[in-house]
Amino acid sequence: MTVSFDHALVLAGALFIMGIFCVVVRRNLIMMLLGLEIMLNAASIALVGAALKWHHVEGQAIALFIMAVAATEVSIGLAMIVGFYRRTDTVDPNALEEFK
Amino acid sequence: MLGTLNQQPILYAAVLASVVPLIAFLLIMVVTRRRPRVSAGLSIVAITIAFACSVLLLVRYWGLAALLQVTGTWVTTGQFTVSIGFILDPLSLLMVTVVSGISLLVQVYSLGYMAGDPGFSRYYAYMSLFAWAMISLVLSPNLLQLYVFWELVGVSSYLLIGFWYEKFSASEAGKKAFVMTRLGDVAFLLGLLTLLIPLGNLDVLMLNSPDIGSTMPAGMLTLSALLIFGGVVGKSAQFPLLTWLPDAMEGPTPVSALLHSATMVAAGVFLFARIFPFFSQSPAAMTVFLAIGTISMLLAATMAMVARDIKQVWAYSTISQLGFMIMGLAAGGYVAGVFHLITHAGFKALLFLCAGVFIHVYDSNDMFEIGRQGGRRLKIPMACMIVGAAALSGLPPLSGFFSKEAIIGVLATQDNRLWLGAALVGVVLTAYYTFRLIFIMLFPSAGAPSPPPTSGHGHHGRDYWTMATPLLILAAVTLVLGFAQTPLTQFLLFGVDAGGDHGHGERGLLIAAIAGAVGGVLLAWFEFGRKGSPQIGFVERIPALATLFSERWYLDRIYRWLLDRVVYGVFSRLATWNDERIINDGVDAFSDRLVGSGRILATLHRGMIQYKLLVMFSVVALLGLYFFF
Amino acid sequence: MIIHYAPFPILTTLLMCCVGGLVMILCIPGERKDLIRMVSAIASGLTMVLSTWLFFAYDKTQGGFQFAEKFDWVPSMGITYFNAVDGFSVPMLLLTGIVFFTAVLTSWELEHRVKEFFAMVFLLVTGVFGLFMSMDLFFIFVWFDVSLFPMYLLIAVWGSTRKEYGAMKLTLYLLAGSALILPAIIYLVTVSGLGTFDVIALMTEGSFTPSQQRFAFLLLYIGFGILAGVWPFHTWSPVGHVAAPTSVSMIHAGVLMKIGAFGILRVGMFLCPEGWQYWAHLMAVLAVTGIVYGVFVGLSQTDLKYVIGYSSVSHMGIVGLGLATVTVDGLNGAVFQMFAHGLMTALFFSAVGYIYDRTHTKEIADLGGLSKTMPMATGYFVFAALTGIGVPCLASFWAELTVFIASFQKYPLYGTLAVGALVVSALFMLRVVQQTCFGPGKERWANLSDISPGLGIPRIILVSVIVLFGLFPSLMFDVIQTASIPLIHGLP
């Protein structure tokens, strides 16, 4: 049984909004990064769903790319957060002001 | 060009005369700079060849009926062409002989005078450059070529006046000479441009043709003539650009001799003579020239009356005599002016070279000092100097007498008697200041000890004779040249009867001129020569006048003031201020503002990342809502 | 327009000498300084030989564009790799070759980061050569920027006297210029509707309406004019000259400023002749202001290099005045002046550079009496000053004379002012000469050594070329005429 495109879109939309909330509301850099990941995955789901619907393989290919990009992004982001934490002893994004 | 040359192989002599000194200059600069004797040899051989060629040409073309001209193209661009070549007419033939002859004598003399100078090679290189420029100048068939060499004459005199560059005053004098003559040259160039644009070329022949007046309006012609005359004023040190010449004494004395007789300053008068028919087309301009010549003549004569430096006296007398020549030319006496130019070249070189011997031996420029040290014991220079001085004063039967008399004769034909009167006053003053110098040196004030000439300069050595020989030659020329007046006149006028040119004055004038000169000499004798004379001139009894004269009528002060206050003080300062404060600071301020406003905007980028994200997402969401629903 | 294609891509070979030299320098390890110098000298010497050959091989009887080579580059956008030379660019190539070689020899004594220095110089000159030979607007712009960006590093790293300020100012000014040129080029290419960047194709009559030409020409004139030191956009140039190291000043004043004037000529005047005629009066006013202004500002400078910088402003004003006359004589004089001024300033800066290397000061008041200790070095300095004054039988005299004649004919007042500036220029040049070289020798400088024969070579080359073209100006005029006459006669 195939999941209909609508369901996939609803799921992706819900995940995306949750991601946004996570990024905007949480006062923690790590949680913000997680939110970003969730948003990326939401986009991937939408793409995969679209690929299924129109029988195009590009959607899945791009989803693969997104995974790769997400992996690098997370690693770099985490490294930066660790560095940031070492200097300031906090992971509060508002403390980033000094780092412009 | 070659075709014409091949028809008359003797014309190669002209090419040779004008090129050999250049080759010598290049060779010395490039190859023999470190070997002074070779350099001097090269230079002298070159100028000897040039002199031989010019004598050959003069003899071959003596009495020629029409001028010869050989030209080729030097530069062609767009609408104008500069040709290069040479013109052989009586004027250029005479001048080239005078120039190369005097250069030769001066260079031989310098062997003694400059012996042992560290810049010996450089000196001879510059001398060759000078000779090349001047010879090519007098042979120029068109004014653009003449201008080219005119400028080169200026450059080489700059180099030679400032030859002893370690002396601050010498390099300063070189600069002054160059800049002041440049001032005249700019007028000259503008004058050339005003002619070049309507006429298309600047051939001397075309300018001198009688119908030039019909090709352009009279006002334009006068303007061009006046502008070109600006060059003459600068080069020949006429009023108001006369102050560079006395300073130019800072160069080695042989250089002064060359500068003041046949080359640099003579170039101005030569230019006048070269395009004399063109200038004569504009009577208004000629009157201006006459006035300028007269003013310079009198002004310089008064300055010479109080000078103590021998070379300075001769320098003022040069300005004065050049003024005299210009008076003669401007009054319409072509032959008289040119004749005086030639005789003056001879006796002025003589006077300077004599002065050089005294300066060399006594190491002083002050005439009183030299007199005290026993200057009269140097018999040959003293005798030669007296010959030269008598010629300068216009005493018969020396060359100066004939040429001066010719000019006075021309001036007498002018309707306005003022010029004649001024000329006679000039004659008296000239005789006075010349013999003032001679008497001071001959009869130093009583009681002064006369120590033997300073040792070390052994004045009877070989150097002495290399210096004395040119003196004797020049003195001999000065003695006899006057009698060549009639043949020279005929030659200059292409053999036409000299009657048309007012070369010969009336008997009354003759007497007046001689009386003036003798009067001047007697006055000098009374004040400086006779036993127990006070040795104070009548001018010095009036302090105000003496100061005015020795300050050169404050002309130098005025120029200094103009330069400091106007050029440096106003133009230069304003421009610099504008550059630094307005343009530069304006640009800097603009970029500072740019950086500043960047900073202000940058504060918006600080922190609050989550609020920004919130705003961003809401905007995107709203946009989505707006577009899709 | 006649185009003669070359059987052998000689122009590309010339470019490849620079690029090849650059690559080789990059491959040599930085410690082998002497090898780097040798390679630079050989490669730059080759460019000089090639450009000299080009100058004499250029067929004056045929004229037009010669040694052309053309390959498609991006056909969809109409970009071609199109090189050719005409009577305007041949002298410029010769100038670049000579100045490049002499600049490399002049910086023989440089010890700091030799490899990077020569690499940057080679990159810079590649851009210059490329611009002078390119006939494609796209490439002209690319080469223009290629030649600008190394300047920043060259000044900021190897310079002196406020070098960061000078480098930054220069770069910003020149980038501002290129920000005007790029839109103008794009505008011209798009409005023509021909879909090509080829200059010769765009030159066909009727490509642009007069109003389009006026607009584009103004942009191009200001954009390139900044680089040419047109008043009042000149202040970067003295500052940059002062900050730059010797050989960079030589290339900068000798060649780079010519790019600006050449750009006005090649792009502005070739493509927008109507715009040129329309703005000619403005150009003349700015040029004359520059001429007079430059000498007066130079008169009161205390730094030796500032003096030369301002003399460049004045001399480039003469180029501008020549271009503004819209006559054959004016163009001939302007291009000749570009050539002569390039040689003259190169000599000037190399002489000053030597003095600075030995005395470590550029303050005129500190110097004095140098002729005693270094007669040769100051001799070159005096020679350059005399060239700058416009002494006859040296190259710049003819250039100035021609420009004066042309401008006097077209704008008598400006011509008079420009001629009048000669007096002040003599005053300020000789003042500097007198205060640095002449006068009593100073104790401080008593032990300095004179220029060595090896370092003398570049100066001797410059002097002899100046004298050669001063004695035989027709060599140059005949070449330039092949381009200026058709350009003027083809004017609408």
User: Tens digit of pLDDT for each residue in B197-229?
Assistant: 888 778 888 888 887 777 788 888 889 899 999
Sequence-distant (6+) residues with CB within 8 A of A44 are A63, A66, A67
Using only C-alpha atoms, what is the Rg of chain A? 16
Q: Which tokens sit at C428?
A: 């300020």
B503 falls in which pLDDT band (50, 70, 90)? very low
pLDDT at B65 over 80: no
B371 or A69, higher pLDDT? A69
Chain-chain contact of C477 with B189 (C-beta, under 8 angstroms):
no
**pLDDT tens-place string over residues B418-468:** 888 888 888 888 888 888 888 888 777 655 555 554 444 444 567 778 888
Q: Are B164 and B250 in contact (CB under 8 A)?
A: yes
User: Residue B621: closest CA among chain A residues belongs to which residue?
Assistant: A17
**Last-in-domain residue among B550, B569, B592:** B550
What sign does the dihedral B599-B603-B607-B608 (CA atoms) show?
Answer: negative
Residues B542 and B576 in one domain: no
A100 interfaces chain B, CB cutoff of 8 Å: yes
Instruction: Please tell me the predicted confidence (pLDDT) of residue B4.
Output: 66
Mutate to test the interface with C, among B1, B165, B585 (most CBs of C within 10 A): B165
Same domain, B516 and B565: no
> pTM for the complete prediction?
0.86
State residue A15's pLDDT score.
Answer: 93
The one-letter amino acid code at B152 reads: L
Q: Average the pLDDT over B29-45 and give the result.
A: 86
Measured in angstroms, the CA of A67 and the nearest CA of chain B are apart by 23
Specify whether B516 is located in the same domain as B596.
no
In this structure, are residues B284 and B216 in contact, taking their beta carbons and an 8 Å threshold? no
Given this model, what pLDDT does residue A99 score?
59
**Mean pLDDT across chain B, nearest whole number?**
83
Same domain as B593, residue B609: yes
Of residues B607, B614, B617, nearest to A97 (C-beta): B607
The alpha carbon dihedral of B16, B22, B25, B31 has a sign of negative
Nearest to B166 among C300, C372, C422 (CB): C372
User: Which tens digit of pLDDT belongs to each residue from B312-324?
Assistant: 888 888 899 999 8
Do A24 and B609 lie within an 8 Å CB cutoff?
no
Both structure tokens of C377: 């070095």
Residue B494 confidence (pLDDT) above 80: no
Say which residue the tokens 């120039």 belong to.
B99
The answer to whether residue A20 neighbours chain B at the CB level (below 8 Å) is yes
Q: Is B323 a member of any domain?
A: yes
B272-296: average pLDDT? 89
**Burial classification of residue B536, based on how many CB atoms lie within 10 Å of its CB (0-12 exposed, 13-18 middle, 19 or more buried):** exposed
Distance from the Cα of A35 to chain B's closest Cα (Å) equals 12
Residue C353 contacts B where some CB pair is shorter than 8 Å? no
Verify that B521 and B613 share a domain, yes or no.
no
Q: Are C126 and C22 in contact (CB under 8 A)?
A: yes
Cis omega (within 30 of 0) for bond into B397: yes
Domain span at residue B329 reads 282-446+461-493+500-550
Task: Tell me the C-alpha distance between B460 and B463, whole Å.
Answer: 8
Average pLDDT over residues B241-255: 85
Q: State the pLDDT at residue B502.
A: 46
Kindly state whether residue B169 falls inside one of the protein's structural domains. no
CA distance B591 to chain A (A): 22
> Is the CB of residue B301 less than 8 Å from the CB of residue B244?
no
Count of structural domains, chain B: 2
**Rounded Cα–Cα distance for residues C321 and C412 (Å):** 12
Please check whether residues B441 and B314 belong to one and the same domain: yes
Partner residue facing B193 (CB), from C408, C426, C437: C408
Q: Using CA atoms, how far apart are residues C100 and B163, in angstroms rounded to an integer? A: 35
Count CB-CB contacts under 10 A for residue B250. 23
Q: How far apart are CA B299 and CA B289, in angstroms?
A: 15
**Are A and B touching by the rule of 3+ CB pairs within 8 Å?**
yes
Identify the CA nearest to B384 among candidates B405, B410, B419, B358.
B358
Mutate to test the interface with B, among C235, C313, C314, C467 (most CBs of B within 10 A): C235
Q: How far is B47 from chain C (nearest CA, A)?
A: 21
Three-class SS state of C149: helix
pLDDT band at residue B400 using 50, 70 and 90 as cut-offs? confident
Q: How far is B557 from B561, CA to CA, in rounded Å?
A: 6
Structure tokens at B83: 């040709």
Angstrom distance (rounded) from CA C407 to CA A45: 75
| Amino acid, res. C129 | F
Residues B605 and B466 in one domain: no
Q: Measured between beta carbons, which residues in chain B are less than 8 angstroms from residue A27?
A: 610
- B605: chain A residues, CB-CB within 8 Å: 100
Strand partners, B88: B68
Burial-class residue B305 by CB neighbours within 10 Å (0-12, 13-18, 19+).
Answer: buried
Neighbouring chains of C at 3+ CB pairs within 8 Å? B
CA angle B224, B226, B231 (to 5 degrees): 100
Q: In angstroms, rounded to a whole number, what is the distance separating the alpha carbons of residues B503 and B317? A: 23
| Whether ipTM exceeds 0.85 | yes
- B-chain CB neighbours of A97 within 8 Å are 606-608
Nearest Cβ partner for B587 among C235, C329, C405: C235
- Closest residue in chain B to residue C294, using alpha carbons only: B575
Please say which residue of B517, B550, B583 terminates a domain.
B550
Same domain assignment for residues B314 and B423: yes
DSSP code of B9? G
- A5-88: CATH topology: Helix Hairpins (1.10.287)
Coil, helix or strand for B351? helix
Q: Under an 8 A CB cutoff, do C332 and B179 touch?
A: no
Instruction: Grade residue B511 by pLDDT with cuts at 50, 70 and 90.
Output: confident
- Residue B234 within any structural domain of the chain: no
Interchain contact A77–B (C-beta under 8 A): no
Opening angle at CA C328, ends C327 and C334, nearest 5: 90
Residues from chain A contacting residue B609 (CB–CB below 8 Å):
93, 96
Cα separation, C246 vs C241, whole angstroms? 9
For residues B562 and B546, membership in a common domain is answered with no
Note down pLDDT in tens along chain C; length 492 residues: 688 888 888 899 999 999 999 999 999 888 888 898 999 999 999 999 999 999 999 988 888 888 989 888 888 888 899 999 999 999 999 999 999 999 999 888 888 888 889 999 999 999 999 999 999 999 999 999 898 888 888 888 888 878 888 888 888 888 889 899 999 999 998 888 888 888 888 888 777 888 888 999 999 999 999 988 888 888 888 888 888 888 888 898 889 889 999 999 999 898 888 899 999 999 999 999 999 988 888 888 888 888 888 899 999 999 999 999 999 989 999 999 999 999 999 998 988 888 888 888 888 888 877 887 888 888 888 999 999 888 888 888 999 999 999 998 889 899 999 998 888 888 888 888 888 888 787 777 777 777 887 788 889 999 999 999 998 998 899 999 888 888 888 887
Q: Do B595 and B475 have their domain in common?
A: no
Nearest CA in chain A to B605: A100
SS (H, E, C) B210-257: CCHHHHCCHHHHHHHHHHHHHHHHHHCCCCCCCCHHHHHHHCCHHHHH
Tell me whether chains B and C touch (3+ CB pairs under 8 A). yes
Residues 6+ apart with CB under 8 A from B497: B490
Question: What percent of chain B is predicted at pLDDT more than 90?
Answer: 8
A-chain CB neighbours of B600 within 8 Å are none
Q: Show the DSSP H helices in B307-398 as ranges.
A: 310-330, 334-362, 367-372, 379-393
CB contact under 8 A, C473 and B74: yes
Question: Which of C293, C311, C468 should one mutate to test binding to chain B, selecting the residue with the greatest count of B CBs within 10 A?
Answer: C293
What distance in Å separates residue B608's CA from the closest CA in chain A? 6
* A80 touches B: beta carbon within 8 Å: no
Asked if residue B582 is part of any domain, the answer here is: yes
Q: Hey, is B75 helix, strand or coil?
A: strand
In this structure, of A38-47, B111-120, B129-138, B532-541, the range with the lowest mean pLDDT score is B532-541
Give residue for tokens 């066909």: C204
- Asked if A38 and A15 count as a contact pair (C-beta separation under 8 A), the reply is yes
Residue labelled with tokens 């970003």: A36
Residues of chain A with Cβ-Cβ distance to B613 below 8 Å are: 20, 23-24
Q: Which of B176-180, B181-185, B355-359, B538-542 has the lowest mean pLDDT?
A: B538-542
Under an 8 A CB cutoff, do B148 and C293 touch?
no
Chains A and C touch (3+ CB pairs under 8 A): no
- The 10 Å CB-count burial string (b at 16+, else e) for C157-193 is bbbbeebebbbbbbbebbeebbebbeebbebbbeebe
How many angstroms from the chain centroid is the CA of residue C415?
23
Of B178, B190, B196, the CB nearest to C416: B190
As a dihedral over the C-alpha atoms of residue C401, residue C406, residue C411, residue C414, rounded to 10 degrees, the angle is: -20
Tell me: pLDDT of A42 over 90: yes
Domain edges within chain C: 3-489
Nearest to C393 among B152, B186, B194 (CB): B152
Record the tokens describing residue B511, joined without a space. Answer: 């007497």
Domain co-membership, B514 together with B577: no
Are residue B381 and residue B405 in the same domain, yes or no? yes
Question: Cβ separation of C419 and B158 shorter than 8 Å?
Answer: no
Is residue B382 a part of any domain in this protein? yes
